[in-house]
Amino acid sequence: MEREEIADRINDWLARNRETLEIVDVDVRLSSDREFHCLTFVFFYRRK
């Protein structure tokens, strides 16, 4: 997955599930080394 697509994919997922899921928290983590930066998005949700 390209970095440019991340926001679109997250927003699409949120839109598709807005009626059935409630996001209760989000955690964004960054790890990196000399060459790469890795982002991890963790969504905590509950079913409505």
- Where along the chain do its domains lie? 3-47
Say what the pTM is.
0.71
Angle in degrees, CA 32, 34, 38, rounded to 5? 25
Give the separation between CA 41 and CA 30, rounded to whole angstroms. Answer: 9
Q: What is the pLDDT of residue 2?
A: 74
The pair of three-digit structure tokens given for residue 19, joined into one six-digit string: 């009626």
Q: How far apart are the first and last CA of the chain?
A: 30
7-20: pLDDT as tens digits: 899 999 999 999 99
In 3D, which of 25, 24, 29 has the Cα closest to residue 41? Answer: 29
Angle in degrees, CA 44, 31, 16, rounded to 5? 35
